[in-house]
C-alpha cells in the first residue's frame, strides 16, 4: 500500500498516549529508525531493511545508485487496534496490514506494519512481504525526486520539493508486489479464474484506476497489478524496462511508454497489444500453475500409496540385499 500525503499532523494513539508507550524499543542505524515491542524485533527488522533495500533497488528497479533523500521511521505494531489508529495518518487509505506515508511537516517517510493483521501468515512471513513492498514505494518516490532535481535549471540550486507525482497506480502497486518475498500463486490463480469468466480490455480497465477508493475488490486489484507488472517485465530487457519507467516518470501513459520502448507505430496499437498479450500471458501462467499443482498432488498421492504398500508387505529384515532398496524408498517418500 502506498500513499504520499502532503498533509499535516501525525496524531499518535489514544489521548495522552504516545507510540513510545507501546513500541518501547527503537533501533537506529544511519537515517533509519525501527520502533518495535522488543529489541529482537527491532534489530531483526533493521537487518532485513538493509538487505531488502539493496535487493529491491537493484532487482526490481535496476537502480544501484539511487539514494535516500529523507530519513525513514519503521513502526512494527503488535496490536491491530493501535495500528488502525495509525491509518488516520493516511485517511484516504484503508491499509489493512501495512502502509507507507510521507508527511510534509515531518520530512521523513513512515512505514507502518501490522504483521498480526495477516491471519494466514507467520510474523516472519508477513514482515518479509510487507517491508520490501513499502520499501519499493519509498524507492519509487526517490526516483521521482531525483528526476525532479536533475530537471532543475543548471544555475539554480537544486531544492528537494516534495514529490507529488507517482507511477500510475497499477504500476506503483504492481512493482511493490513484485518486491514482496511472498508466494504469488494465489494471485496467479485468482486472475486466471477471473479471465476465464470475463472478456474485455483488462489492461485498459486496470489503467483507469487512479485512486484506491475506486477499487471495490482490493485482492483482485493487487492480483491484476502484480500480473500486469510481471507481464511488462517479461516483455522487456532490463535496459528497456528502465527506460520504460523513465518515460512513465516523464508523464507518458503506460501504453505510450510501452509503445515507444518496444517500437509500436501508434499508442493505439501498443494499447491493443497490451490488452491481448497480457491476457494470454496471465492465462498461460494460471494454466502452468494448475498443471504444476496437479502434478504435485498426484506425486504426493503416489508417495502415500507407495508408503502403504511398503507397510503392507514389509521387506524381510533378514535379507541384507534389500537395504539399499529400503533406503531408496525411504528417500523417495
Ligand atoms: Zn502498496
pLDDT tens digits for range 51-77: 999 999 999 999 999 999 889 999 998
Q: Report the separation in Å between the CA atom of 149 and the middle of ligand 1, taken as the mean of its atom positions.
A: 25
Q: What CATH number is given to the structural domain containing 86?
A: 3.40.30.160
What pLDDT score was predicted for residue 78? Answer: 85
85 with 74, same domain? yes
| Inside any domain, residue 315 | no
Q: Is residue 332 pLDDT above 70, yes or no?
A: no
105 with 249, same domain? no
145 with 238, same domain? no
Average pLDDT, the chain: 83
End position of a domain, from candidates 165, 193, 223? 165
Res. 174 pLDDT band, cuts 50 70 90: very high
Q: Report the separation in Å between the CA atom of 134 and the middle of ligand 1, taken as the mean of its atom positions.
A: 6
What pLDDT score was predicted for residue 81? Answer: 80
111 with 24, same domain? yes
- In angstroms, rounded to a whole number, what is the distance separating the alpha carbons of residues 94 and 127? 18
Q: Is residue 36 pLDDT above 70, yes or no?
A: yes
Q: What residues contact residue 1 under an 8 Å CB cut-off, 6+ apart?
A: 93, 95, 96, 98, 99, 100, 133, 134, 137, 173, 212
Q: Is residue 318 pLDDT above 70, yes or no?
A: no
What pLDDT score was predicted for residue 208? Answer: 94
Q: Report the separation in Å between the CA atom of 282 and the middle of ligand 1, taken as the mean of its atom positions.
A: 21
Res. 158 pLDDT band, cuts 50 70 90: low
Q: Report the separation in Å between the CA atom of 167 and the middle of ligand 1, taken as the mean of its atom positions.
A: 12
Of the listed ranges 10-14, 88-92, 138-142, 230-234, the least confidently predicted one is 10-14
Question: Is pTM, for the whole model, over 0.75?
Answer: yes
Q: Is residue 200 pLDDT above 70, yes or no?
A: yes
What pLDDT score was predicted for residue 281? Answer: 94
**Grid coordinates given for 112:** 507502518
End position of a domain, from candidates 165, 182, 215? 165
| Inside any domain, residue 215 | yes
Q: Residue 76: give the domain boundaries.
A: 1-165
Of the listed ranges 86-100, 184-198, 250-264, the least confidently predicted one is 86-100
| Inside any domain, residue 285 | yes
**Grid coordinates given for 161:** 520539493
Q: Report the separation in Å between the CA atom of 177 and the middle of ligand 1, taken as the mean of its atom positions.
A: 7
Q: Report the separation in Å between the CA atom of 283 and the middle of ligand 1, taken as the mean of its atom positions.
A: 24
Domain count, the chain: 2
**Grid coordinates given for 44:** 531483526
Q: Report the separation in Å between the CA atom of 114 and the middle of ligand 1, taken as the mean of its atom positions.
A: 14
CA distances from 306 to 57, 311, 317, 318 (A): 47, 9, 18, 22
Q: Report the separation in Å between the CA atom of 319 and the middle of ligand 1, taken as the mean of its atom positions.
A: 62
What pLDDT score was predicted for residue 54? Answer: 95
Q: Is residue 19 pLDDT above 80, yes or no?
A: no
Of the listed ranges 49-58, 196-205, 206-215, 321-330, the least confidently predicted one is 321-330
Q: Percent of the chain beyond pLDDT 70?
A: 79
37: exposed, middle or buried (C-beta count within 10 Å: 0-12, 13-18, 19+)?
middle
Q: Is residue 13 pLDDT above 70, yes or no?
A: no
148 with 172, same domain? no
Q: DSSP string covering 224-267, please?
A: HHHHHHHHHHHHS-HHHHHHHHHHHHTT--HHHHHHHHHT-SSH
What pLDDT score was predicted for residue 16? Answer: 56
**Grid coordinates given for 240:** 528497456
| Inside any domain, residue 322 | no
158 with 268, same domain? no
Q: Report the separation in Å between the CA atom of 136 and the middle of ligand 1, taken as the mean of its atom positions.
A: 8
- In angstroms, rounded to a whole number, what is the distance separating the alpha carbons of residues 107 and 92? 20
218 with 156, same domain? no
139 with 33, same domain? yes
Amino acid at each position: 500500500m502506498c500513499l504520499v500525503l502532503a498533509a499535516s499532523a501525525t496524531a499518535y494513539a489514544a489521548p495522552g498516549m504516545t507510540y513510545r508507550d507501546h513500541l518501547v524499543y527503537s533501533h537506529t542505524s544511519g537515517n533509519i529508525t525501527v520502533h518495535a515491542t522488543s529489541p529482537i524485533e527491532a534489530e531483526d527488522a533493521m537487518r532485513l531493511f538493509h538487505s531488502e533495500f539493496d535487493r529491491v533497488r537493484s532487482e526490481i528497479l535496476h537502480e544501484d545508485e539511487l539514494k535516500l533523500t529523507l530519513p525513514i521511521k519503521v513502526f512494527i505494531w503488535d496490536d491491530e487496534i493501535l495500528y488502525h489508529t495509525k491509518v488516520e495518518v493516511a485517511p484516504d487509505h484503508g491499509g489493512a496490514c501495512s502502509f507507507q506515508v510521507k508527511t510534509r511537516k515531518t520530512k521523513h517517510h513512515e512505514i507502518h506494519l501490522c504483521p498480526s493483521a495477516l491471519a494466514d501468515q507467520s510474523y516472519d512471513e508477513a514482515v518479509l512481504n510487507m517491508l520490501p513492498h513499502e520499501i519499493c514505494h519509498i524507492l519509487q518516490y526517490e526516483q521521482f525526486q531525483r528526476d525532479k532535481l536533475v530537471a532543475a535549471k543548471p544555475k539554480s540550486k537544486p531544492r528537494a520539493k516534495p514529490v507529488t507525482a507517482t507511477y500510475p497506480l497499477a504500476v506503483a502497486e504492481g512493482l511493490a508486489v513484485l518486491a514482496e518475498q511472498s508466494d504469488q500463486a494465489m494471485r496467479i490463480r485468482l486472475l486466471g479464474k477471473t479471465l476465464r469468466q470475463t472478456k474485455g480490455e483488462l489492461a485498459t480497465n486496470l489503467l483507469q484506476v487512479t485512486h484506491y477508493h475506486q477499487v471495490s475488490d482490493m485482492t483482485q486489484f493487487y492480483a491484476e497489478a502484480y500480473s500486469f507488472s510481471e507481464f511488462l517485465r517479461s516483455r522487456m530487457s532490463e535496459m528497456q524496462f528502465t527506460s520504460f519507467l523513465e518515460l512513465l516518470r516523464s508523464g507518458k501513459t503506460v501504453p505510450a511508454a510501452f509503445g515507444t520502448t518496444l517500437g509500436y507505430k501508434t499508442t493505439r496499437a501498443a494499447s491493443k497489444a497490451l490488452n491481448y498479450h497480457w491476457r494470454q500471458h496471465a492465462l498461460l501462467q494460471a494454466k502452468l500453475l494448475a498443471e504444476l499443482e496437479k502434478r504435485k498432488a498426484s506425486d504426493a498421492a503416489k508417495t502415500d500409496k507407495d508408503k502403504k504398500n511398503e507397510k503392507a508387505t514389509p521387506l524381510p529384515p533378514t535379507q541384507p540385499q534389500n537395504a539399499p532398496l529400503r533406503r531408496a524408498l525411504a528417500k523417495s517418500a
